[in-house]
Structure 1
Amino acid sequence: MPFRADREVPGLIVKFGDYPLHHGGVGAIRSLGRLGVPMYAITEDAYTPAAASRYLKRAFVWPTRGTEGADHLVEGLLRIGRRIGRPAVLVPTDEEAAVLIAEHQDELGSRFLFPRVAPGLPRRLASKQGLHELCVEHGIPSPAAAFPQSYDDIVAFADRARFPVVAKNREAFVRRSSPAVNGTTRITTREGLLTLARDWGERPGVILQEYLPREEAEDWIVHAYFGRDAAPLAMFTGVKVRSWPPHAGMTANAYVVDNPELADLAARFIKQIGFTGIVDLDLRFDRRDGQYKLLDFNPRMGAQFRLFESDSGVDVVRAMHLDLTGRPVPEGEQRAGHRYVVENIDLPALLAYRRSGYTTPHAPARASGTELAWLAGDDPLPFLTMLARFVRPGAKHLRQLWRTNRRGSAQVDNSRDFPPGTPKLPPGREG
């Protein structure tokens, strides 16, 4: 590798909530750990896949639900920082952690290193309404959306809407307390919408969005790290081949595909809003009008970030660590054609996609290489731990998701109802 990381500065994986099977956290531990960076992680218990990694120096067992007060979470992080004993780079794996860090930079800055950003920006980006408003403000295409304030507003919307439509929770964090919908819900009829809306209360916390049909769309992803002045220090583009639940959920299989137009769009938007740090963007290319429409902006690393690595050995987590420790981030081309597979969900996704006959137009015929989310020859225990925790409850939940996804009136995508990028296992949420 044409660079050396600062081995005197450790990394800390920060996650709030109960989602032990998070392959993104394991990927970050391995990515920096292989460079000799001491790695620490917050875990639900001592028997998670992350805690089993040979590259983890210590797991701090701290069960949280994400609904705790900010003061409690900040004090807990500072306590962990004191136990580490030296400044550490924070690597948030969910929106709750990213927002908490951004909104409490002054308190956390004495113990940790992290990209400095406008304190309110990550919360706004994680909000479906906030993101939509930013897209409109800066001329970035996004699906048409409405934000009803009452049941009467929903009735008026239903009278003029073209079905199917999509309902999502307006704010990112209501999934912890009282979500209106369980993830992204496709609603096919006016009657179906009005029936669901009766349970949303006097002030429905939902966004109603146009549906982009999979037959006329392609799912693209952008992962990047932006340094000071929102300068792109690492930028990657790829296409999602399979997800679970089918066509709507977390990434199960994806490829690196060069897309300069998409990279330029992302860089322009980040520059306009002034964001600094790691981003994970989900966009859908609408072949009907030829536009890439921004669906989700995750202001932290995505679970599938290890799909992307440059030929100089840089991924977004490594880029952040290098930048925050004052080291240059080497330039390099992304590994076009490289594939990423999440073993525990890609097999059911493959079966579902074969049944539907859907294929991804831009996926290469043959992979130039494959990165597995869980299995690694130099670090096998996380894979075995995942199997032990996943097989029985995981298989049951996959069946539940499949049945839910096949409903006629409302198809549910749980990918945004749980934490980013892993299967939801009762009683927790996705990671």
Structure 2
Amino acid sequence: MLDTGVPVLLARVGNYPLHHGSLGVVRTVGRLGVPVHAVVEDRFTPVALSRHLTSAIVWRTTGREEPERLADGLLSLGRRIGTRCVAVPTDDEAAIVLAEHADRLKECFLIPPAPPGLPRLLACKASLHRICAEAGVPSPSSRAPESRDELVDAGRELGYPLVLKNLAPFSRLRTPAVSGTTTVVPTERALLARFPGAVPPPVLVQEYIPRQQAEDWITHLYCGAGGVPLVLFTGLKLRSWPPYAGMTARAVALRNAELAVLAERLCRRTGYSGLADLDWRYDRRDGQYKLVDFNPRAGAQFRLFENAHGVDVVRAMHLDLTGRAVPDGEQAEGRVFVAGQLDFASAGAWLRRERRLPSDLPHVRPTERAWLAWDDPVPAAAEAMRFTGRVTWRLLRPEHPGRAARA
């Protein structure tokens, strides 16, 4: 089905060796005979050990580099491979570099024809909120304060508790305002204690939608030229890690026509072209699906979704950029994605908070696992070893003297 003469480069910026979405990219096209080259942190990451990988390219980046230098590095990698590749980004920074430097990078890579500055605008939480308002797509009330006074005003206007997020790609790596994806602060005192300086780091302050009044949904899609979705999938997050705010730990593919209409409207209005992973929160208080995040790249759980022809978003991208038709078909319903240890941790957190096991555990069998695959077992073993080692190191490392004194 795919053109096996056109390889894929897995493009990454930053240090995240235990990323199951990257392994999903390698497997989904590698199983069909497409050569896959991947940027990796070292030669023993789970991705680097996949039997479906053609070559692992060690290129360590932090995201603190200037985008021009990152584009130079990608161009060097493309010339080393020697054959024009489909570049698949698995983080927002890589997607932005590919879009904003497409004129140069097209020498070595096939890149969707998105407006160059659009991925950065969509990935930035503040500009996304403005774009949603213009497109008629609901999103949570948000502010991007630039001073301590504006921070206080935002909290009083939106009310407590508040959600804090890193404002934009690159700044989340250079000057992170919060660790992880989302932090909830209960009071103004807690907010000001977190940001004692006169000028806070780049941060988004967002209204809190109580989890008891919410459902978390996802949309994964690939758009061709002009923002026309060639595949579009919707699903329900069952659990996440950290709980209620982090990466998808378990999800199920469910067709949601209203959500699909909103996602397509946004992409057509903006002219977005490429891969996208959208996070939504359904607010039962007003009956609206509110767009929380727009990630212009392959989502970590994209293998949850296929259409009736077995086409996922990465396969659709390869088909489109190599001039082949993307088979149209209904979304495969009921597929279940499980993210390994994250799922165990999320189930444990659910049990602790709800005083009962999640209802899906005894009844729902995974269709797609993030790490474990019988035709490619080594990455799962490598992930388990590195994950266990990381947890053990955190438990056994000496306590910081200042932390001990404060205790």
TM-score by length of 2: 0.92
Bigger relative CO (Cα 8 Å, ≥ 6 apart):
1
- Structure 1 residue 29 corresponds to structure 2 residue 7: no
- Deviation digits for residues 261-292 of structure 1, max 9, x if unmatched? 11111011110011001110000000000000
Determine if the alignment matches structure 1 residue 382 to structure 2 residue 379.
yes
Which of 187, 190, 204 aligns to 1:189? It is 187
Is the partner of 2:3 in helix, strand or coil?
coil
For the Cα contact (< 8 Å) 1:223–1:236, is it kept in 2? Answer: yes
Residues 196-231 of structure 1: CA distance to partner in whole angstroms, max 9, x if unpaired?
2324x4254222111011000000000011112211
2:164 aligns with 167
What is the 5 A alignment of 1:343-382? 343-357=340-354, 366-367=363-364, 370-382=367-379
1:232 maps to 2:232:
no
Equivalence for 2:319: 322
Q: 1:340 to 1:158 in 2, by over 3 A?
A: closer
Equivalent residues of 1:337, 1:367 under 8 A apart: no
Match of 1:268 among 252, 255, 265: 265
Whole-angstrom distance in 2 between the partners of 1:361 and 1:53:
32
Contact persistence 1:241–1:359 (CA under 8 A): no
Alignment of 1:104-119 (within 5 A): 104-119=101-116
1:117-167 residue CA offsets vs partner (Å, 9 max, x unmatched): 111100111111111110111121111112222112223334444211112
Instruction: Report the AA paired with residue 113 of structure 1.
Output: L
The answer for the alignment partner of 2:93 in structure 1 is 96
- Contact preservation (8 Å) 1:220, 1:240: yes
Q: Which residue of 1 aligns with 2:405?
A: none
- Residues 282-321 of structure 1 aligned to structure 2 (within 5 Å): 282-321=279-318
| SS class of match (1:28) | helix
Q: 1:15: which partner in 2? A: 12
Letter in 2 for 1:131: L
8 Å Cα contact 1:227-1:277 kept in structure 2: yes
What is the distance in 2 between the residues matched to 1:232 and 1:374? Answer: 28
Q: Does 2:41 match 1:44? A: yes
- Could you give the per-residue CA deviations for residues 99-123 of structure 1, whole angstroms, max 9, x where no partner exists? 0000001100011101011111001
Alignment partner of 2:141 out of 123, 140, 144: 144
Change (3 A) 1:157 1:25: closer
Whether the 8 Å CA contact 1:128–1:172 is kept in 2: the answer is no
- Call closer, same or farther: CA 1:69–1:161 in 2, change over 3 Å: closer
Name stretches of at least 5 consecutive residues in structure 1 with no aligned partner.
401-431
Q: Say yes or no: does 1:75 pair with 2:58.
A: no
Which residue does the alignment assign to 1:407? none
One-letter amino acid of the counterpart of residue 377, structure 2: P
Q: Which runs of 5+ in 2 are unaligned?
A: 398-407
* Letter matched to residue 62 of structure 2: R
Contact 2:114 2:225 in 1 (8 A): no
One-letter code of the match for 2:123?
A
In structure 2, relative to structure 1, the CA distance for the partners of 1:36 and 1:215 (3 Å cut) is same
Residue-by-residue CA offset, 1:323-354 (whole Å, 9 max, x unaligned): 00011111122221110001121111111112
SS of alignment partner, residue 8 of structure 1: coil
Cα deviation, residue 194, structure 1: 2.3
After TM superposition, the structure 1 stretch with the greater mean CA deviation from structure 2, 40-49 or 149-158, is 149-158
